[in-house]
Amino acid sequence: MRQVRAALGDEALILANRHTEQGVEILAMAESAAPTSSEVTSYKQPEPQVPPAREVPVSTDQAQVQAFEAMSARLLEEMRDMRALLARDRSGPEAGGTAGEQFVRAILEAGFSQALAEEVVASLPEELADVEALDERAMAWLVRQLSKRLVGLDDEAAFMDRAGIVALVGPTGVGKTTTTAKLTARYVMRHGTRPVALVTTDSFRIGAHEQLRIYSRLLDVPMYALNADQPVSDLLERMKGKSCVLIDTVGMSQRDQRVIEQIGHLRGGNTSVRLVLLLNSASQPETLEEVVVRYRQAAQAAGGEISDCIITKLDEAGRLAPVLDIIMRHGLRLLFVSHGQRVPEDMALAEPVSLIEQCLANRVPLARATTSPTPPDNSSRGAGNLLGQGRRLATVLLALRERLPAFDGLEAVWNLLGLPASVQQQRFDALLADHPRAGQAHGMLWSERRRVPGEHWAMPDVALNAEGTWLALPLLQHRQVAGQQARLESALQHHDAGVHLMNGLPDAEAGDWLERQGLSWCSQVRGSLRVAHAGERHSLAALESMAEAAGQVRCRFRGAPARLMLAALPVEVNFKGSRRERSGFDAQAWFGEVRDAESGKALARRYWIVPAGLSRDPEPLLLALLQADVLPQLARRAWQRLEPTEAGDLRGDVRLLMASGLATVAAHLDFAEDEAAMDLRAELLGLGGGRRRRRDVALLESLLQLFLVRDAIRHLGLGERETG
């Protein structure tokens, strides 16, 4: 080995060795050598019991030498290929692996933790489960998933326009004084100097008062000094008229027991102080984790709370992802990002999407062995997993509230669970008296006026908003006025509902009324319905071959992808009434054949009637009625799962609204094709414990679990509380 290093350097590579009669042959090369046999040096190393011999050719047999050189050339060529392979960028498609592994790899390469990577990939949409490379669509999904876990301010005014006292806390050297000056400057730019004041409690650090005093003079705002053991209330008399007070606190190690005392003094008296934690992005992740945990524990022990943070020294950090990871996992709100010493230029409002994109753009390739998802270690990460599940539950509920009109009404119905029957009735009546709220319902999906097979109840009706989205809280049939025309009039009068989707043709009075009002309507009918075409009466099924093809529409049917093949034919239809049969009216008959999206196998046939003068595209109306087919089935499944023995004291009408509301939400999420719906489906299915063959059923089960967990938390007093 000494001879090899002396000849080829300390970085020489040993390629092979073998015993010979003279000793040991060693095949070696310089690390930077090109793969040619001329650069191979062969040495003879005697057996240990033989005194070392000086450097000589390995063998005098010319045939052995040639064979050895040929083998050497092959080895060098293989080594060159191996080195080239190892030098490749492992972040590209060459890395291979499943879609989940590729996403995990990208997250880890950005600098985020394995725990966060597993949490994100657990909600991977089925639409992205088979991607071979992280293309633009896949990376856009990843940015959305990470950025929605990073909570920031909607705008700076949400923080700057709120009066009160703000104290910046954190370890020594994190940049509290400079950040205090930057925030003060931003306050002054918005509100002027009169309502702003600075306070320092740092009497330990040499020159600390003077540094902040310089900033106060430059900004033309008063500065007050407060001893570390004095409560803020001692200064209130001197700070009258100041609506914005910023406190620069003493820097303390997160392990210093006085942290609790410091926060306790800040909150002394009756003064409300907002605590903002500063995090040095250049610190080690382990240190940042400890800072967050210890300071939040100290705030809690002092009767306060830390929910906001600011990142400092971004310009000194090698990677941004570790500090963002910690902020996400602890559910902190990121207010600002500081990236230099200039006041106030070097501080910006935190923009989650931009920060996440920055992290993903600066990925560093990792060894393949570190990029595969590992099974969760419940013994060591149980609390983390629980927090992650809690964040996902809150995120899903928030997304459902923002997406679905009247979802808050469905939640209000669930809040009745467990209350005495008399209280349920009183609050239930008050809730439904205000549903739908003004401006929510622009159309109605009228369910069949008969009981769902096997049950003693009928599927409630569903209102639609202006975009055609179903309201999450349906309307019970037995609480509506009697008579079809009366219901239509009531929907128009109270909710301005101008679109009506019906099962079966309207009766004579309702049909006349719809024509007079000029409203849009569509009826799903049976193939046996007899209509007139070219002067002859036939069933719709018999006329299907004469219809003109009208294209196809992507859809979902019974929880699976499908295609709806459409055709249309002008016909004349008679409304039938109990007293007389009126003359026919001009209509358009639509014929639909539902086919499996993959095999093309025919799954079902549907028939619809719309007025000939319909002023809107009929396809969305046809599709809405087709999709509504699944609502009674899903509602029945949810009804059976909501057993009173498990759900507690539960009125039948409350139970029906809970079940039908779940069905409506599940069906909507199954049918929606936008990216937000894709993300929400994946989060919900991941939260609910996996996927099933029928996606709509899986979504229903997940929603049921979501509400049951939400209700359990609420009753435990850990979430929303009953306010009377």
Please give the C-alpha separations between residue 433 and each of 428, 437, 473, 655, 687, in angstroms, as whole numbers: 9, 9, 13, 18, 33
Q: Rounded to whole angstroms, how far apart are CA atoms 592 and 595?
A: 10
pLDDT on residue 177: 86
Q: For residue 434, how far is the Cα from the chain centroid?
A: 31
pLDDT at 481 over 70: yes
State the residue for tokens 């939040």.
296
pLDDT on residue 202: 65
pLDDT at 715 over 70: no
In tens, the pLDDT along 253-300 reads 666 666 766 776 666 556 678 889 999 988 888 889 988 988 888 888
Task: State the SS3 of 407-447.
Answer: HHHHHHHHCCCCCCHHHHHHHHHHHHHCCCCCCCCCEEECC
What integer is the mean pLDDT of 312-319? 86
pLDDT band at 377, cuts 50/70/90?
very low
pLDDT at 718 over 60: no
What integer is the mean pLDDT of 192-213? 72
pLDDT on residue 355: 93
pLDDT at 625 over 90: yes
Task: Pick the most confident of 130-139, 252-261, 506-515, 624-633.
Answer: 624-633
The percent of residues above 70 in pLDDT, for the chain, comes to: 77
Q: Rounded to whole angstroms, how far apart are CA atoms 521 and 510?
A: 11
pLDDT at 329 over 90: no
Containing 604, the helix (H) or strand (E) segment is: strand 602-611
Q: Where are the domains of the chain?
A: 2-87, 95-152+352-374, 154-349, 382-519+614-724
Question: Any residues with CB less than 8 A from the CB of 292 and at least 6 apart, and which?
Answer: 277, 279, 326, 330, 332
Question: What are the DSSP E strand ranges found in 288-341?
Answer: 306-312, 333-338
Q: Which CATH architecture has domain 154-349?
A: 3-Layer(aba) Sandwich (3.40)
What integer is the mean pLDDT of 205-231? 72
Pick from 249, 246, 250, 225: which is nearest to 235 by CA?
Answer: 225
Identity of residue 287: T
What integer is the mean pLDDT of 342-353? 86
pLDDT on residue 297: 84
pLDDT at 75 over 80: no
Partnered with residue 42 across adjacent β-strands are 27
Partnered with residue 14 across adjacent β-strands are 28
First to last CA, the chain: 84
In tens, the pLDDT along 230-249 reads 666 667 767 777 778 888 88
Choose between 206 and 160: higher pLDDT: 160
Lowest-pLDDT range, 83-97, 98-112, 317-331? Answer: 83-97
The DSSP annotation for 570-587 comes to EEEE--B-SS-BPPPEEE
Q: Rounded to whole angstroms, how far apart are CA atoms 275 and 563?
A: 56
In tens, the pLDDT along 589-605 reads 999 999 999 899 999 99
State the residue for tokens 């700070």.
239
pLDDT band at 382, cuts 50/70/90?
very low
Q: Rounded to whole angstroms, how far apart are CA atoms 220 and 482?
A: 73
pLDDT band at 434, cuts 50/70/90?
confident
Pick from 263, 269, 250: which is nearest to 294 by CA?
Answer: 263
